[in-house]
Amino acid sequence: MQQDILINWSPQETRVAVVEYGAVQELHVERTLERGLVGNVYLGKVVRVLPGMQSAFIDIGLERAAFLHVADLMSSITSRHADADNAATSAAALQPIEKQLFVGQSLMVQVLKDPIGTKGARLTAQVSIAGRLLVFLPQDNHIGVSQKIPAAQREDLRQRLQALTGDMGGGFILRTNGEDATDAELGEDIAYLRKTWARIKDAALRLPPTSVLHQDLNLLQRVLRDMVVETTQSIRIDSREQFDQLKLFATEFMPATLQRLQLHSGERPIFDLFNIDEEIAKALGRRVDLKSGGYLIIDQTEALTTVDVNTGGFVGARNFDDTIFKTNLEASQAIARQLRLRNLGGIVIVDFIDMLRDSHRDAVLAEFQKQLARDRIKTSVNGFSALGLLEMTRKRTRESLAHQLCEPCSACQGKGVVKTARSVGYDILREILREARQFNPREFRVIASPKVIELFLDEESQHLAGLSDFIGKPISLQSEAAMAQEQYDIVLL
């Protein structure tokens, strides 16, 4: 499997496409104005200590001072030895905050929550640095393993990680996606994290208070840290400035990726090479056409994602069973790709076309699992249910592509449908009747979309006139082009 990574950069947005077998498999988008501060490390300055709240306000160079609670302050007499499976040390075990901090004091802090509305950022003094496979806890010596990894494997993984980290200080927690990592991969992550911490400590000694000591990696840097694999042939970027910065980052932290970095300087935009903008447009639609003539319908809800497989116009096989089998086989490949492309996480229900033969079911399931094995994100397939539905989960790592690029329709509010003009018209007639029983205006005026007004002037004119006679009041009509079909106002004159 040969892989190419294409990066399209602009001051407002970075877009990354992972291409395998000549087709886009993953899309990543990061917008400059939407990048948060979570994970950033600052040299803060204490501006206020509140003993009654056991908290302090810290200036980290933002518009509003950030908030630090005593529970998030690394005590000088208490070290964190809490197991990864247990809760952190309670605030009650710490010294009062007024005995640990004073106004004007410099303090290394990390952002836990971004500022929201009138609230400043939430901070912690217990710094942690995330890598691809591990989380480094420089102020701790604990070795932990993610709770999401089965309990039976945790102790072996903990001992293996202990042997790799040695006695150089600092603690590590193995992340879920590091469960199957090799010693070499873990060793690379450990080296990267220790080097990052060394740079943070050096910056804390050199820079004045309110300075940024470390920023969480941007999408360009995460490409080198998280997406490059042995089969990656090239990493092509279309910005000279970002190419030079990426080379510096790679030289210091990811030297093995240097030879794969390439500057794209062709006349055609880099995303035009593989029709990636067209793929993005397709990835935002419900329907995905298959080469055979079949198609998928993908619906994303709050709780889960459903995928419905249909034969469409595919009648190429000699009998109907073979037609269904071949459509499902092709669909299993397409679904695995769409999960990656759209970054769909959580529970996924796939409604394959019903198969009568167990051998066909087993073959489709095997093909689906084979395609999912190429996914960097952890997946778990539970097989077919009693109703013939295939149930699976895919770990949520970030917002789906649709949630990143789209918002609910202002007309239908995300329902996907709107009432017909006739339904809206009848709603208006009922509303006028209700208001006529409560009020006694000179006239009722209906302001609605052009389609609804047109209906009242034509097909529903008799009903409108009958209501006007019944209530004994004139009803006038006003068309408003800016109104959606379900919107209307009834004005009492």
Q: Dihedral sign, CA of 150, 153, 157, 159?
A: positive
Residue 332, domain CATH: 3.40.630
If one counts the domains in the chain, the total is 4
- Specify the amino acid at residue 276: I
Task: Report percent pLDDT > 70 for the chain.
Answer: 94
The two three-digit tokens of residue 211, written as one number? 């300075």
Lowest average pLDDT, out of 223-227, 362-366, 397-401, goes to 397-401
Residue 20 included in any domain = yes
**pLDDT (0 to 100) of residue 149:** 81
Domain co-membership, 372 together with 459: no
Would you say the pTM of this structure is higher than 0.85? no
**pLDDT (0 to 100) of residue 91:** 42
The C-alpha angle with vertex 328 and arms to 326 and 334, in degrees rounded to 5, equals: 110
Residue 482 included in any domain = yes
Last residue of a domain, one of 375, 405, 435: 405
Domain co-membership, 446 together with 355: no
Domain co-membership, 143 together with 231: no
Residue 77 has pLDDT above 60, yes or no: no
Interatomic CA distance for residues 54 and 173, integer angstroms: 29
**pLDDT (0 to 100) of residue 92:** 43
Interatomic CA distance for residues 210 and 486, integer angstroms: 52
**pLDDT (0 to 100) of residue 177:** 72
Compare 83 and 330 and report the one with higher pLDDT.
Answer: 330
Domain co-membership, 305 together with 202: no
Residue 313 has pLDDT above 70, yes or no: no
Domain co-membership, 293 together with 363: yes
Residue 256, domain CATH: 3.30.420.60
Domain co-membership, 313 together with 399: yes
Residue 117 included in any domain = yes
- In terms of residue numbers, what domain contains 376? 286-405
Domain co-membership, 159 together with 196: yes
Q: How confident is the model at residue 233 (pLDDT cuts 50, 70, 90)?
A: very high
Compare 397 and 173 and report the one with higher pLDDT.
Answer: 173
Residue 46 included in any domain = yes
For 129-170, what is each residue's pLDDT tens digit? 988 889 999 988 888 888 878 888 888 888 888 888 877 788
Residue 331 included in any domain = yes
Contact 138, 74 (CB under 8 A): no
Domain co-membership, 95 together with 167: yes
Residue 163 included in any domain = yes
Domain co-membership, 201 together with 229: no
Contact 32, 10 (CB under 8 A): no
CA 437 to chain CA mean position, Å: 51
Domain co-membership, 469 together with 399: no
pLDDT average, residue stretch 118-127: 89
